[in-house]
Chain A
């Protein structure tokens, strides 16, 4: 069975998991029935407990689905604390459905898989030892990878039915009103966790900081919470986000960033009230600085910046160059602090941010987005999931979701060391070429042939050579040579969903 981006999908797995092949980036106007969680009625007087072991015993059964958020990133203590108890209690056949998995969780997940505690995983991504383990066939059932918007969609549909959500927060009152902004281990927006709080049957908050009632602003509300567990420490503040964001000095990244800026400024979307989203990589941060100057020079202000937020973006908010920051997560301390102090930095949940099955998501209103790529092919398809050796080492994040912007720019070096970034066919398709408009490399740009308007607007910029993407691919191959094709077995180790829940590609077990 092939899908519309020409990927062969395994019939047996597709049938077993009741999946449809990816057809189109168009979502249309279907009618959707959302699900609702079970509510165990209480006045809320006895929510505070000290034993996570007892909470697990009271709420969890074999075969259930458990969830976590990844807002603490590599400073997370909650995941390992809870999973330790779950493994030791001998639970089996659980589905792990976190918003994503960070490096600090890897060893525990592998242990839980080996113990039979976890037999299914759905996540935005995975890296390091866990990606390696799964790519070598360590988990029997395929991992389901979903974008942040698609996870929200899947939860609302009931495709992911969370039985128990274990959510770490830097503060909560005795009833469960909580936010991500005050306490020792602050991370700012609780965007991804808000889905779990709203839709899980049982919501367990873990915090090292119980504050007086009622706690405001309440991102998670007492109406959603079953337990408040007091723990010693929820996270290590130094590892939650990078401290001060460093501005790249890499000439290649600067060249790419200034070209991205040229593309934006000369596009039809660069006008007063435009909106944009950038990532957290070196080039993306540099773009923000170039864009700042261009906005000042042209007397243009942005109506909003969206997505994962960094300090360079909140600096623009402070300067009055952006009206609103719509914040689903904060990548550094500066951005997290800014959410606390600025009324114009709005916390948004993953559904509001990017869920396609919505009465309008923010990504649908987005003008310009700058995204990265491990690989991009001559059909403009992008891989952000598997590395050059075919091993899982990435995350979809909001890539597919934000790519629905009116101008989607992929910024990537032509080659990284000996590995070409622009290739004939990407190893794994995550974001379809139909939603990608311009590729920016240090050598020049390539414009999706479907965008005649952009060909016209960007075709003759001084200092910005325009290539056919096929020519950029050949240029890359000339430099690095032709790689030997990767070898995989027939076994499917991961399914890549498109944001509508159809299957855009799969990842196979690597042959070593």
Chain B
């Protein structure tokens, strides 16, 4: 999927993660802020990257503000942000779910 505009999914409530995706020339850059960076930072980045790969996103800038979200939440927020950013919300990527 191609990122066409900047889009956000998620909130700053505890146990949620807010993901903002915007255009990038090439590659995936993740800027993560997390209360649990020390213990789960790598795992959070890994879930975001894996989800982006599954959606065929090859170029994107991701800003993630994590408030202790579980993996399933991180995945759901990433998918929602990508679909909004790629203007494909009318065609849910069922296979990725």
Contact = CB atoms under 8 A, between A and B. Distances in A.
Contact of A486 (B14, B39, B67, B69): B39
Interface stretch (A30-38, A316-324, A477-485): A477-485
A417 B14 contact: yes
A417 B67 contact: yes
Interface in A380-422: 388-390, 416-419
B10 to A, nearest CB: 14
B15 interface: yes
B40 A481 contact: yes
B19 to A, nearest CB: 16
B36 A481 contact: no
Contacts of A479: 70
A480 B38 contact: no
B95 interface: no
Contacts of B68: 416-419
B71 A389 contact: no
Contacts of B38: 389-390, 484, 486-487
Interface of A is mostly: loop
Contacts of A487: 38
Contacts of B35: 417
Centre residue among B39, B40, B42, B43 by max chain A CB count within 10 A:
B39
Interface string B65-90: 00111110000000000000000000
Interface in B1-58: 14-15, 35-36, 38-43
Interface residues of A, number: 14
Interface string A457-491: 00000000000000000000001110110110000
A419 to B, nearest CB: 6
Contacts of A480: 40, 70
Contacts of A388: 36, 39
B69 A418 contact: yes
A481 B67 contact: no
Contacts of A417: 14-15, 35-36, 67-69
A229 to B, nearest CB: 43
Contacts of B15: 417-418
A390 B68 CA distance: 16
A481 B43 contact: yes
A388 B35 CA distance: 10
A416 B35 CA distance: 12
B85 to A, nearest CB: 25
Interface in A297-333: none
Interface in A355-397: 388-390
A328 B36 CA distance: 36
30 contacts: A388-B36, A388-B39, A389-B39, A390-B38, A416-B68, A417-B14, A417-B15, A417-B35, A417-B36, A417-B68, A417-B69, A418-B15, A418-B36, A418-B40, A418-B68, A418-B70, A480-B70, A481-B40, A481-B43, A481-B70, A481-B71, A483-B36, A483-B39, A483-B40, A484-B39, A484-B40, A484-B42, A484-B43, A486-B38, A486-B39
| 3 cross-chain pairs, A with B, having the tightest CB-CB distances, nearest first | A417-B68, A483-B39, A418-B68
Interface of A: 388-390, 416-419, 479-481, 483-484, 486-487
Interface of B: 14-15, 35-36, 38-43, 67-71
